[in-house]
Amino acid sequence: MLWQLFVTAVKALVLILALLFTFAYITWIMRRGLARFQVRLGPNRVGPAGLLQPIADAVKAIFKEDLTVARADRVLYWLAPLIAFTFALAAFAVIPVGPDGWVVANLDMGVLYVFAVSELAVYGIFLAGWASGSKYPLMGGLRSIAALVGYELALGMAILPVVLMAGSLNLQDIVAWQQTHGYFILWQFPAFLVYFVASLAEMSRTPFDFAEAEQELVAGFHTEYASMKFVSFYIAELLHWITGSALIATLFLGGWAAPFGLPQIPVLWLFLKWAIFIFLVLWIWASWFRTRYDQMIRFAWGVLLPAATVWFLITAYYVAKGGAL
Amino acid sequence: MRGPTTVEPVPGRTDELIINMGPQHPATHGVLKVVIGVEGERITRAVPHIGFLHRNHEKIEEARTYPQIITYTDRMDYVSGLQNELPFILAVEDLLGVEVPPRAKLIRTIFFELFRIASHLVWLGTGMLDLGAITPFLYTFRDREMILEITEKTAGARMLPNYFTFGGVRRDVHPDFFKDVAHFLDFFETRLPDYYALVLDSPVFQARAVGVGVLSRERAIARGASGPVIRASGVAYDVRKAEPYDAYPELEFEVPTRPEGDVFARFWVRFKEMEESVKIIRQALEKTPKTGPYKGKVPPRVKPKPGARYRAVEISRGHLGTYVVSDGSERPLRVKHRSPSFANLQLIPDLFVGARFADAIAILSSLDPVFGEVDR
Amino acid sequence: MVAVFAVVGVAIVYATLFLSRLLVGERPKTGAKLEVYESGEVTIGTTEARVDVHYYLYALLFLVFDVEAALLFPWAPAFDKLGWLGVFEVAIFVAILAAGLAYAWLRGVLKWVY
């Protein structure tokens, strides 16, 4: 029992450090990648090709003065980055990066868990906005709730057909199903589209990045945060991007399993599939406008949700008829 | 008509937030401060505050000799620098009775329109940035760089070249000038369709712009709006047509207008203006002789006869007029600039109230104010 | 398992916050440093106003539909055991909620009110 606990702790630590490392380098990829889209170079001074830039940023952030504004609600102000960070991190615990054993927690209701945890992360953002005692963050926080009201249902309804076909809420089972029957992106293309759009909102990326719309709300919910507390938010936000992309890759693109009968190497295949979605999000980020949050809610309720519901019923009919199972 | 000058919290009212937007705000294009009251995200009140960039231009100009003043006029609307020199120069030329050679007029017109494109490119980039698209900014600045290089080759400076002068231009154009401009036009004509496709045709952009910040024709006229702002409200007012100056009478171009008066219309009008500018420059390039006089006969000491003169030009942002009063000495008695952005900014309370917070940003960037010229 | 993961995560955040505190130390914080950021100007009025949440009708509907989703999730894996009966039951369940949504839509309550 104790041994098991120890193994889990080590796994968790390794995964978290790996995630933080990924986070650090995703900032690099983000900046270099965006620079490529924008016909400029991006950070290239610290280390070869700017590879040490994330470390320089981290050191700088640690040495920043940590300010707490006088109007802030101190307890919640401190709690908010913690909530945002922890839940953003916790979502990754159930994503399998390889066969049995290559996952921190092989939950039978993994999908529900991811769903629940990523929804909880909104509390961190909203509390940050409210507890800052400042006006721009307050508006940012409210917008993040608005985004949640919009995307969450479409997200849930888009996973349902996948669960229905795979017959399990366990992510390992979903990966296994795709290995024998083919990827869900082929079986469930409409669900994939809805899920991808909705998860753009969940990751609060363009075109749904209004919660921290720089040109409108200065920095949105984290305007009043500095130093490592700000970094916690920053990490949380990019972790949503990392986790969200990994989850799409797992749900719709076969997860860690190798395609075309190539050798199975844990981590590698998930990483490559994950990179596709990381790039897609970056691409959209570099080329699109920001929507208004009321437009996003209307779009989610008027288009995404009905589409997902109809597709869900179609899938239910198909599966009940005896197809695919 | 005077509106409210401050925004104070209403006692006992607890559902309105009063927010300072600016002067240190990413989307106020410099140093505008708008104090707005919001109910949730809807704006209930808005009062613009200006003066953060006030440099006392008009008073300083009273203490400078006429040629020295040209340098100051450059620095009003610094985004379209060269254009600002013209109204002052035209007014002084009238007072002096100087004849400008046709070739100089054409050169001035070419530069005038080049700077219109440059200015609209800056507007396009920053306007897109305000709407959350981060990439166009870099693209438009790359295109603008070509214009600045052309200017640098001929005038020696990039943004504020101090190139026009009484009777023409300061020096003849660089030998590469005609080739460079033609090359830029060819290049720019391949870029424009891309901008159309990426901006005006984008459904996300249309959702943000169509029907937002509607300015009626009457309101636009009443507030003294000019430039693309009034033309997007269906008024075909353009100084280049209304009081033609320089080589404009002999050039053919259209004044694009649109009746809607919303953010989309203002964006559309500026896009069309860039197209028209390309046409104008092409015609002017053909008409301009390769060599010839570039400056008329001007006395070495500029001392206009006593009198007053008001001349206006259509800069990128609208009607820029300069009123010069001369007492016969080397220094003007009074110089007054009528700047378009200043007048257009009066529309802020009209357009902001009732809009959403996110729309306010779109509206502001569609007005395209430059604060060097608002505050002077 | 997940708890262990969360604990390790929290520990890491605290470690970095502590490290920052350790390296930078406490400095006296006075005056403008304690002011909230509002574009470089002093805040006018209160920052604790009631906020008009225009999307509250969506939020109410959201609750209904979120519970729907929560009910559908356990149903989905057990689907093969339920067969056609399950499909019909769920179809009716979804249809009732969809009718509610359609009703709200037609009544115009979901129009952006302002």
Closest by CA position to A255, among listed A166, A157, A155: A166
Q: What is the pLDDT of residues B54-85, one digit of tens each?
A: 888 888 888 888 888 888 888 888 888 888 88
Provide DSSP, B145-209.
HHHHHHHHHHHS-SSS---EETTEESSPPPTTHHHHHHHHHHHHHHHHHHHIIIIIT-HHHHHHH
Q: Sort strands B307-315 and B318-326 into parallel, antiparallel or unpaired.
A: antiparallel
CATH code at B57-375: 1.10.645.10
- By Cβ distance, the residue of B17, B204, B361 closest to A288 is B204
Q: What is the pLDDT of residues B115-157, one digit of tens each?
A: 999 999 998 888 888 888 888 888 888 889 999 999 998 888 8
Contacts with A292 from chain B: Cβ below 8 Å: 207-208, 356, 358-359
Q: Which fold has domain C2-107?
A: Methane Monooxygenase Hydroxylase; Chain G, domain 1 (1.20.58)
Contacts with C35 from chain B: Cβ below 8 Å: none
Contact C105, C61 (CB under 8 A): no
In whole angstroms, what is the distance from residue A200 CA to residue A284 CA? 9
**Interchain CB contact of A6 with C (< 8 Å):** no
Residue of B nearest to A140 (CA): B41
Contacts with A226 from chain C: Cβ below 8 Å: none
- 3-state class of B36 per DSSP? strand
pLDDT at A136: 84
pLDDT at C112: 58
Residue A51 has a CB neighbour count (10 Å cut-off) of 14
Sign of the C-alpha dihedral, residues B279, B282, B285, B286? negative
In whole angstroms, what is the distance from residue C4 CA to residue B56 CA? 66
Phi-psi region at B222: left, alpha or beta (left = phi > 0; alpha = psi -120 to 50): alpha
Q: What is the pLDDT of residues C64-86, one digit of tens each?
A: 887 877 788 777 777 777 777 77
In whole angstroms, what is the distance from residue A35 CA to residue A27 CA? 12
In this predicted model, which residue has the larger pLDDT, A102 or B186? B186
Q: What is the number of helices (H) and of strands (E) in chain B? A: 15, 8
In whole angstroms, what is the distance from residue B325 CA to residue B309 CA? 7
pLDDT at B5: 64
* Residue B116 in tokens: 């219109």
In whole angstroms, what is the distance from residue C16 CA to residue A284 CA? 32
* Residue B215 in tokens: 């300015």
Residues 6+ apart with CB under 8 A from B259: B217, B233, B234, B265
Amino acid occupying residue B290? K
Indicate the helix (H) or strand (E) that contains B333. Answer: strand B332-338
Indicate the helix (H) or strand (E) that contains B33. Answer: strand B33-39
- By Cβ distance, the residue of C47, C58, C72 closest to A160 is C72
Q: What is the pLDDT of residues A167-202, one digit of tens each?
A: 788 888 888 888 888 788 878 888 889 999 988 888
CA angle (B133, B134, B140) in 5-degree steps: 100
Closest by CA position to A247, among listed A140, A50, A104, A97: A97
* Residue B232 in tokens: 């997007």
A-interface mutation test, from C36, C44, C89, most A Cβ less than 10 A away? C36
Q: In DSSP terms, which residues pair with B39 in a beta bridge?
A: B42
Window C:42-61, CB contacts with B under 8 Å:
43-47, 49-54
Q: What is the pLDDT of residues B270-327, one digit of tens each?
A: 999 998 999 999 988 888 888 888 888 888 888 888 888 898 998 888 898 899 998 8
pTM over 0.90: no
Closest by CA position to A324, among listed A110, A193, A109, A161: A161
Q: In what order do the strands lie in the sheet with B33-39?
A: B17-21, B33-39, B42-49
- By Cβ distance, the residue of C40, C43, C52 closest to B15 is C52
Contact: B40, C114; criterion CB under 8 Å: yes
B28–chain C nearest CA distance, Å: 10
- By Cβ distance, the residue of A115, A133, A232 closest to C13 is A232
Contact: B138, A40; criterion CB under 8 Å: yes
pLDDT at C111: 66
Residue C41 has a CB neighbour count (10 Å cut-off) of 18
The length of chain C in residues reads: 114
pLDDT at B2: 54
Using a CB–CB cut-off of 8 Å, the residues of B that contact A are 17, 19, 25-27, 38, 40-41, 128-135, 137-139, 142, 198, 202, 204-205, 207-208, 356-359, 361
Rg, C-alpha atoms of chain C: 25
Contacts with C62 from chain A: Cβ below 8 Å: 149, 152-153
Contacts with A112 from chain C: Cβ below 8 Å: 73
Amino acid occupying residue B243? E
Closest by CA position to A144, among listed A209, A85, A235: A209
Domain spans in chain B, listed from the N-terminal domain onward = 57-375
Domain spans in chain C, listed from the N-terminal domain onward = 2-107
- By Cβ distance, the residue of B41, B135, B358 closest to A38 is B135
Mean pLDDT over the full length of chain B: 86
CA angle (C18, C23, C27) in 5-degree steps: 95
In whole angstroms, what is the distance from residue C62 CA to residue A150 CA? 8
Widest CA span in chain C: 70
Please report all neighbours of C, defined by 3+ CB atom pairs within 8 A: A, B
Write the DSSP symbol of residue B107: H
* Residue A131 in tokens: 């507890």
Domain spans in chain A, listed from the N-terminal domain onward = 1-63, 65-320
Contact A105, C5 (CB under 8 A): yes
Most confident of A177-181, B167-171, C20-24: B167-171
Residue of A nearest to C63 (CA): A149
pLDDT at B3: 57
Residues 6+ apart with CB under 8 A from A205: A241, A281, A284, A285
The answer to whether residue B21 scores a pLDDT higher than 80 is yes
Sign of the C-alpha dihedral, residues A297, A298, A303, A309? positive
Closest by CA position to A300, among listed A112, A161, A146: A146
B270–chain A nearest CA distance, Å: 19
A262-268 own/partner pairs: CB under 8 Å, 24+ apart = A264/A98, A264/A99, A266/A97, A266/A98, A266/A99, A266/A102, A267/A97, A267/A98, A267/A102
pLDDT at A104: 67
Closest by CA position to B178, among listed B293, B289, B296, B292: B289
Residue of A nearest to B365 (CA): A215
B78: exposed, middle or buried (Cβ count in 10 Å: 0-12, 13-18, 19+):
middle
**pLDDT tens track, chain A, 325 positions:** 778 777 777 777 777 777 778 788 888 888 888 888 888 888 888 878 888 888 888 888 878 777 778 777 888 888 888 888 888 877 877 888 777 766 666 777 778 888 888 778 888 888 888 888 788 888 888 888 888 877 888 888 888 888 888 878 888 888 888 888 878 887 888 888 999 998 888 887 878 877 776 677 777 788 888 777 888 888 888 888 888 888 888 888 887 777 777 777 777 788 888 888 888 888 888 888 888 888 888 888 888 888 888 888 888 878 777 665 4
Contacts with B40 from chain A: Cβ below 8 Å: 142
Contact: C37, A218; criterion CB under 8 Å: yes
Residue A189 has a CB neighbour count (10 Å cut-off) of 12
pLDDT at B1: 43
Contact C55, A297 (CB under 8 A): yes
pLDDT confidence bin for C114, thresholds 50/70/90? very low
Please report all neighbours of A, defined by 3+ CB atom pairs within 8 A: B, C
